Amino acid sequence: MPDWLQGRHALITGGGTGIGAACATHLHAAGAKVSLLGRRMEPLQQVAGRVEGTAIQCDVADRAQIDRAFDEARAANGSIEMLIVNAGIAESAPFHKMTRESWDRIMAVNLTGAFDCAQAAIGDLLKSEHGRIVFIASVASLRGVPYAAHYAASKHGLLGLSRSLASEYAKTKLTVNAVCPGYVDTPMTDQSVARVSQFTGRGEEFARDAITNMNASGRLVEPDGIGTMVMTLCLPQSGDISGAAITIDGATSA
Ligand code: NDP
């Protein structure tokens, strides 16, 4: 049973950077074969090189690309037994200036993309002895975020999707969970720092401190801890953990 992950196929969206790359590292270390999806091939190939994985170009906002990429992943690594829905984007704007285009972009990747990925893999996952879906949600799934109403709405929706699938498949071997991080030390947070710095006209150091202090711990979350949790959720021993919203946020939502 502890060796169950050996040779099993984990597909990770957004696997070339940040949290997705950390998930790849930990799942590979546990013996899994990993397929890494994203739009830019260069970071995907770098991570794939480290984890003996398969890099596949895919925009998760496009269902046809998802179907093609998942077929490519199956051809390389077999039936999908673990799906890590991690690809996401963030933008910020005061609500009265938020554009419909920005709202649509965020929803297409963070929510509709997650729906499409889960649906594209569900047949495989239900055939597995220990099928797993892990959605990388956010503390923004649990509370509102000023200047990011679209992002928070997409992440609330993602948690609703996760809990609904967990309930729907409760009597099967498939588990479905959401991991909800606070601010994590990744490129997405670097971009938030740049935006806050621009809005406020204060320096990058001010902006990084302000964002870091949004976590109650006063530290950014390490991607490694999220990778460890995702790998743990994929173990057969985690079969009774389903429908959970697991916060990894240094007590921010406590
Ligand atoms: P990154 O920006 O490093 O990761 C986002 C990943 O998603 C990138 O690898 C990117 O690759 C991929 N991606 C974005 N859009 C698409 C798309 N249309 N199709 C396919 N892949 C896409 O930041 P994180 O690692 O922090 O983010 C990972 C997840 O964690 C996101 O869902 C984010 O919302 C969530 N999260 C992050 C937090 C943080 O503080 N950083 C906090 C809470 C949750 P590419 O651009 O090449 O497509």
Residues 157-164, mean pLDDT to the nearest whole number: 98
| Residue 96 CB neighbours (<10 A) | 5
Look up tokens 């998802």; give the residue.
66
| Closest residue by CA, ligand 1 atom 6 | 14
Q: How far is ligand 1, taken at its centre, from the CA of residue 188, in Å?
A: 7
Backbone angles phi and psi of 35, in degrees to 5: -105, 130
pLDDT of residue 161: 99
Rounded Cα distance between 88 and 34, Å, is: 19
Task: Tell me the best of 39, 44, 141 to mutate to test the pocket of ligand 1, counting ligand atoms within 8 Å of each CB and taking the most.
Answer: 39
Establish whether residue 14 lines the binding site of ligand 1, counting it when its CB lies within 6 angstroms of any ligand atom: yes
Of all residues in the chain, the percent with pLDDT exceeding 70 is: 99
Backbone angles phi and psi of 72, in degrees to 5: -60, -40
Tens-place pLDDT, residues 129-150: 999 999 999 999 999 999 999 9
- Mean model confidence pLDDT for the chain: 97
Per-residue pLDDT band at 125 (split at 50, 70, 90) = very high
Establish whether residue 189 lines the binding site of ligand 1, counting it when its CB lies within 6 angstroms of any ligand atom: yes
pLDDT above 80: residue 1: no
Nearest to 53 by CA among 105, 84, 15: 15
pLDDT above 90: residue 83: yes
Task: List, in order of start, the domains of the chain with CATH numbers.
Answer: 2-182+223-238 (3.40.50.720), 183-220 (no CATH)
Token pair of 69 as six digits: 């990429």
| Closest residue by CA, ligand 1 atom 40 | 183
Q: How far is ligand 1, taken at its centre, from the CA of residue 17, in Å?
A: 7
Tens-place pLDDT, residues 225-238: 999 999 999 999 99
* Structural contact between residues 245 and 156, judged by C-beta atoms closer than 8 angstroms: no
Per-residue pLDDT band at 182 (split at 50, 70, 90) = very high
Radius of gyration of the chain (CA): 17
Per-residue pLDDT band at 199 (split at 50, 70, 90) = confident
Q: How far does Cα 79 stand from its chain's mean position?
A: 20
Backbone angles phi and psi of 50, in degrees to 5: -75, -35
pLDDT of residue 73: 98
**ipTM of the prediction:** 0.99
Residues in the chain: 254
Look up tokens 């109650």; give the residue.
216
Specify whether 151 is catalytic.
Answer: yes
Helix, strand counts (H, E) of the chain: 9, 7
pLDDT of residue 2: 56
| Closest residue by CA, ligand 1 atom 46 | 39
